[in-house]
Amino acid sequence: MKQLYFGDCLDVLKDMYDRYPQGLIDLIYIDPPFNSKRNYNILFEDVNMADTKAQREAFADTWSNVSYKDTLGELARINYYLFRFLENLDDIDIPKSSVAYLSSMAIRIHYMRKVLQETGSFYLHCDPNMSHYLKLICDLIFGKDNFRNEIIWSYQRWTGATSKFQSMHDIVLFYQKSKDKALYNTLYEPYSDRSKHKAKRFSNLKDNGSLEQSYTGDTSRMKSMRDVWEISYLNSQAKERLGYPTQKPEALLERIIKASSNEGDLVADFFCGCGTTIAVANKLGRNWIGADISHLAVKLILKRLTDPIAENGKKEFLSTLEINGFPKDIDSAKQLAKSDELLKKKSKHGAFDFQHWVVEFLLGGIRNPKDIADGGWDGYIIFPKNNNEKGRVLIEVKSGHVGIKNIREFIRVIDKEKADIGIFVCFADHLTKPMKLAAKEAGKYKPYQFDRIQILTIEDIFDDREIKMPGGVEPSTFKLSVKDVRPENKPPEMF
Ligand SMILES: C[S@@+](CC[C@H](N)C(=O)[O-])C[C@H]1O[C@@H](n2cnc3c(N)ncnc32)[C@H](O)[C@@H]1O
C-alpha cells in the first residue's frame, strides 16, 4: 500500500477508522505545525510571493478559534477526560489560539490511536513551547503507562549571541498502543565518543547520525540506543534539502522507522510535508500512507519519490501509488470542473478548486491571489531572464465552453499585464480551429521559436505535453512539466 492523501488529515482519519475500526497502521510519526509564532505549515516562505496565501487559508481553517468549540463538543462525546482537560485550559489564562491548536491536535491524535494496530507505535514531533501540553494530551489518549520516551533531537546551527542558552533541540514523544504486544526493535550506538571513532573506522558510522552502518559495526562496542539523538540539522548546504522550511532529516526518521516497524509494515505520516517519512519508509521497504493539507506538499513528495528513478521507470512507479483528493483521469477532472461550476453558480466567488488544481498541481504555477471569475488570469509561473530580470507566464484555465473570444480576451490580458507568455488551458472537446489560429496569430515569443500564446488541453497535460518557456523556473515552484526551451542559434551564456 502506497497512498497519498491531499486534505485535512482529520477527514482522512475518520474515513480510515470507519473502514478499519480494528486498526491497520503499524507506525505513525507526525510533525504537525508547532503553533509557534512562525507559521510552520507555510511552504516555500522564502518565495515572498502570493503563493503562500492558500496555505495560510488552509492553516486558518484548520487551526483557528472558530472551529475549536465544535471540536471540544465532539471530544466531549468521545473522550470525556480529554474534553475536561481542554475545557479547563480554556478557562485559564493561556492564549485561545493555544487551546484551539491543542483541541485540533487532540481530536486528530485520538483518531490516530484508533487506526493503529494493537502492536503499533506513535511518535509526535514537537518543540518545547507545546510539548508539555501535548504530552498530557497523549497521556490521556494512549494512557500514561504507554508512554515510552521523550526523545531529544539535539542539533547545532549557526546563531548569533543569545540572551539565554541556545535552543537547539526538538522533542519527539514516543507512545505505544499497548504495553505487552507492541513491536520494538532495539537499535544500537557506540559506547562513547572514543568507541564512536573506532566504530567509525570499522563501519563508517556517518557524522550526520545515519545509523545504517552501526548495525554492521562491531556490536561489542555498541550499547542500546539512548533517547538523546545527535543528528545534523538540515542547513542550506544539506544534500537532502528540498527548500521546504520544516523538512526533517532522513536520519531521524530512519531510527524511528527501524525501531518501530519491520519490512512490509505500514507506516503513516498525517502531516507529511515534503515527505521525509514517506521517502524513508519507501527506501526501507515499508508500505506507507501520507496526508497533507497542502497540494504543493503532495506534489513535492511525488517529485521526491520519482527523482531517484530512471525516466523510463517513473510512470510505472507512479502507477503503484494511490493518490487521493485529486482527479486521476479526464473523467474525474471533468467531474471536478462540473462540481466547481455548480458551486460558482451558488456563490459569487465559488470554489476555484479546478483552477487551483490545474495551476498549482498540474502546471506547478502559483495561483492568482485575487480570485477573479472572468476576464483575468488564474495563475503564473516565474522564469529567470537575462540580467537578473524575471519573466512571467500567465495561466488562464477554463473548465466550460470556450471560443475565439476567450483567446482574444486572454491576449488582451497578456498585453495589459505585460506578461511574457500566456498559457490557455481548456478541455480538448472545447478547443476549436479558430481558437488555435487566434493563438498562433499572436506570434512567437522572440527570440525563441515557440508561440507567445499557447493552448494546452487537460488531455495534453495528462499526456505529458509541456509548456514551452525559456530556461528553468524559479526553484520554489517545483515544476514537473516545463520544458527547458533555448532559442535556436543563441549562446548558452544567455541563461
Ligand atoms: C512541520 S510540516 C511537516 C514537515 C515534514 N515532517 C517534513 O519533513 O517535510 C507540517 C505539515 O502539516 C501540514 N498540515 C497542516 N495542517 C494539516 C492538516 N489539518 N491535515 C494535514 N496536513 C496538515 C502542513 O501543510 C505542513 O506540510
pLDDT in tens, 129-155: 889 999 999 999 999 999 999 999 999
330-494 CATH choice from 3.30.70, 3.40.1350, 1.10.3470, 3.50.40: 3.40.1350
Instruction: Return the residue matching grid coordinates 496526508.
Output: 291
Average pLDDT in the 470-493 region?
39
Give the distance (Å) from ligand 1 centre to CA of residue 199: 36
For residue 230, report the distance from its CA to the centre of ligand 1, in Å.
24
- The reported pLDDT for the residue numbered 357 is 84
Q: Which of 10-14, 120-124, 323-327, 485-489 bottoms out in mean pLDDT, i.e. has the lowest?
A: 485-489
Ligand 1 atom nearest residue 8's Cα: 20
- Nearest ligand 1 atom, CA 34: 1
Range(s) of the chain covered by CATH 3.40.50.150: 2-187+225-324
pLDDT in tens, 234-290: 877 778 888 777 889 999 999 999 999 999 999 999 999 999 999 999 999 999 999
pTM above 0.75, yes or no: yes
Counts for the chain of helices (H) and strands (E), in that order: 16, 18
Interatomic CA distance for residues 2 and 287, integer angstroms? 6
Provide, rounded to the nearest whole percent, the portion of the chain with pLDDT above 70. Answer: 79
- What is the rounded average pLDDT of the residues 73-102? 89
Q: In this predicted structure, what is the pLDDT of residue 37?
A: 41
CA 266 to chain centre: 19
33 lines ligand 1 (CB under 6 A): yes
pLDDT of residue 65: 52
Contact 273 CB / ligand 1 (< 6 Å) = yes
User: 495 CB contacts (<8 Å, ≥6 apart)?
Assistant: 384, 470, 471, 486
User: Can you tell me which residue has the cell 541563461?
Assistant: 495
Cβ–Cβ < 8 Å for 269, 331 = no
Per-residue pLDDT averaged across 326-341, rounded?
A: 78
29 lines ligand 1 (CB under 6 A): no
- What pLDDT sits at residue 6? 85
Banded pLDDT at 435 (limits 50, 70, 90): very high
Regarding the beta carbon of 62 and ligand 1, being less than 6 Å apart is answered yes
- Mean pLDDT computed over every residue of the chain: 81
Instruction: List the single range of 84-93, 297-306, 350-359, 422-431 with lowest mean pLDDT.
Output: 350-359
Give the separation between CA 477 and CA 424, rounded to whole angstroms: 19
- Most informative mutation of 272, 274, 302 for ligand 1 (most atoms within 8 A of CB): 272
> 116 forms bridges with which residues in the sheet?
25
Give residue 51's pLDDT band: very low, low, confident or very high (50, 70, 90): very low
Euclidean distance between CA atoms 366 and 54, whole angstroms: 10
Tell the burial category of 373 from Cβ atoms under 10 Å away from its Cβ (0-12, 13-18, 19+): exposed
Name which residue leads in pLDDT, 320 or 57. Answer: 320
Task: Tell whether ligand 1 has an atom less than 6 A from the beta carbon of residue 297.
Answer: yes
For a mutational test of ligand 1's pocket, the pick from 292, 304, 305, i.e. the residue with the most ligand atoms closer than 8 A to its C-beta, is: 292
Q: How does residue 195 score in pLDDT terms, banded at 50, 70 and 90? A: low
Q: Where in the chain is the domain with CATH 3.40.1350?
A: 330-494
Write out the CATH class of domain 2-187+225-324. Answer: alpha beta
- Round to whole Å and give the CA distance between 369 and 147: 45
**Phi, psi of 309, rounded to the nearest 5 degrees:** -90, 140
294 lines ligand 1 (CB under 6 A): yes
The predicted pLDDT at position 344 comes to 60
| Angstrom distances, CA of residue 366 to CA of 28, 349, 479 | 32, 19, 11
Task: List the residue whose alpha carbon is closest to atom 13 of ligand 1.
Answer: 271
Please give the distance, rounded to the nearest whole angstrom, from the Cα atom of residue 350 to the centre of ligand 1: 26
Burial group, residue 478, by CB count within 10 angstroms (0-12, 13-18, 19+):
buried
CA of 59 to the centre of ligand 1 (A): 10
